[in-house]
Amino acid sequence: MATAFAGEAAHIKEIGHLTVPDIARATGANETTVRAWLRADRSPSGTHAERLAELSSIVERLVQVMQATYVPVWVRKPIPLLDDDKALDVIAKGDYRRVSRVVAGLEASGAV
């Protein structure tokens, strides 16, 4: 039985154009597990659920400040304000707040 967390995986895949490998990379889950979430066969829990919720928050904010089709590029590319780390990797390490601060700067500038 799937939970709201499994639905969240499908939601961010759709709105943010993320791939299964993107979601796996940010959550620390393997790709087979992420596919099970997307089919609602399984639900993330523990740290995987935490990272998924953080990724979801970032993706929902990013689609407000850039074209949704650019989100997968942005989360994969080195970001100077993240010390040239990639947002997916920073989230995977549990440092959501670093990414959130960068996104807040985009929100404040009205980027699109």
Q: What is the mean pLDDT of the chain?
A: 95
Total-model pTM:
0.94
- Residue 1 above 70 pLDDT? no
Rounded distance, CA 85 to CA 38, Å? 27
Coil, helix or strand at residue 38 = helix
Six-digit token pair at 104? 């807040």
Which range of residues forms the domain containing residue 37? 4-109
Give the helix/strand (H/E) hosting 79.
strand 78-79
Strands 78-79 and 85-86: antiparallel
Alpha helix ranges (H) inside the chain: 4-16, 20-27, 31-38, 46-65, 71-76, 87-92, 96-109
- For the chain, what is the domain count? 1
* pLDDT of 102: 98
